[in-house]
Amino acid sequence: MKIALAQINYFIGNFESNVSKIKNAIKKAKQQKADLIIFAELAVSGYPPRDFLEFDDFINKCKMAIESIAKECTDIAAIIGSPVFNPEYQGKDLYNSAIFISDGKVKSSHHKSLLPNYDIFDEYRYFEPNREFNVINYKGYKIALTICEDLWNIGNDPMYTINPMDELYKQNPDFIVNIAASPFNYNQAEIRKSIFTQNVIKYKLPLFYVNHVGAQTELLFDGGSLVINKSGEVVDEMKYFKEDFKIYDLKSINEIQPKITKSKKAEKIALIHDALVMGVKNYFEKLGFKKAILGLSGGIDSAVTLAIAAKALGNKNVYPVLLPSEFSSSHSIDDALQLAENIGCPYDIINIEEICRSFNNSLNSFFKELPFDLTEENIQARTRGVILMALSNKFGYILLNTSNKSEAAVGYGTLYGDMNGGLSVLGDVYKTEVFQLANHINKFKEIIPVNTIEKPPSAELRPNQKVSDSLPDYEILDKILYQYIELRKGPKELINQGFDEEIVKKTLKLVNTNEYKRYQAPPILRVSPKAFGIGRRMPIVAKYLS
């Protein structure tokens, strides 16, 4: 049996585009004499459709799409993900299903059993879990069809009380198919391989895995679809961050031991870079925008954001604006100008000194002669925000936010100022990782000026200001934040690890008391196992560690 895997960048709710891509893949598979083509989880609707699933019209459009696709499936079978109505009165109204199509008709629907309800997932909000298990009989083979999480309940600490593959295995299948929507983080590809290899070794069956690729707002899907033989060896790995299409022969996968060297594990920073580039590119394409604007300060965050945006959109489609104040250093302006020249993008300089002075003069009598403090610093940041949003409105650009995860975590940013934006590029990248990204971008030639990388970070909102005046050293801060945010370690555990007690308490208090700022932040491209946004839900009004 020849099996085609179609790794596609779907567009949530864009049925015309999704169906067109699916049909084109079916035609290609038929031309190459494939017997079966496999698409990803919820391919028809795109993933995650979220509350679109609450509209009958949306589900009916999915049904019509499946009916249209089925007409193409003559002389070939297809497995494709779609939501379907639950005909039973009891339970949720929908199933997350894998549709098996053959001879131009829907032959059967196989529903997802294990519905993740953690981190970015909330599938139990919409779907009823499957409780019936049946293999697919096709051309003399039995197919164990599973959907994403259905293969993840394996190992020493199972999350669910059932294992779908245990039930399907009783029916003597010949191979496993897993269709998925598995979002990217920099660890996920290796974790997936480990999980699937454990399944293959346990059941001694080859596995065909098809994942989504592309960005859906903040969620990034890296592709990396897999074929694993019954010995637990990865036979092939499809492209990462790109659409792909391949055909495999089941017999050769089963019988021939592949002579394939183990693929080199990609570097974390290279993965993050490529994921962010894809995230920016898809965000603009799917919204129908072409050009981005951002504030360019001469600091490393805006420099890395500009470099990533230029890679994603093209250098002429990114418009950095320098907004110096009376506190901006000449070397910061020089660094920003050098970066814009290196990238070859159009730029402008708008001095904000007079605008800020006008604000301060207008407010001076109301400030009751109180001394210069954070208020005047924030007026500078908000002046920049107003100018950037004005240019964004006037010319139809999307403003890119340049805040990093470290500073977003502790509230080192100004609401309605430097926290403005339609998309946060670096909001899930710690400051120490931003420096690593800069060095990665400069791997073959100097794009980001070395001085930008080497100089001490500063907001330049008051004379001789340094970030170290307000925050611990980033090497220490980022380690504490990682342990608290990603690994959920409490203050006692952190202190026992050797971190200074005063720094730990101050840092955790800053994280928790600044939740209100992050609540108002733009969507953040997710590259870590625990990002701010939909995957981390914290109350604003709370007393814990605050």
Residues with a catalytic annotation lie at 41, 112, 148
**What is the length of the chain?**
546
Single out the residue of 291, 522, 519, 516 nearest to residue 427, CA to CA.
522
Give the angle 342-271-439 at the CA atoms, nearest 5°: 35
Q: DSSP readout, 506-546?
A: HHHHHHHHTHHHHHTSPPB---SSS-SBTTB---SS--TT-
Partners of residue 94 on adjacent β-strands: 85, 127
> H helices of 78-236, where?
164-169, 188-203
In angstroms, the first-to-last Cα distance of the chain is 61
Give the torsion through C-alpha atoms of 166, 171, 172, 178, to 10 deg.
Answer: -60
Residue carrying the six token digits 């609450």: 54
CA angle 4, 7, 13 (to 5 degrees): 125
> Tokens at residue 251, please?
């017999």
- 465 burial type by CB count under 10 A (0-12 exposed, 13-18 middle, 19+ buried): middle
Contact 343, 307 (CB under 8 A): yes
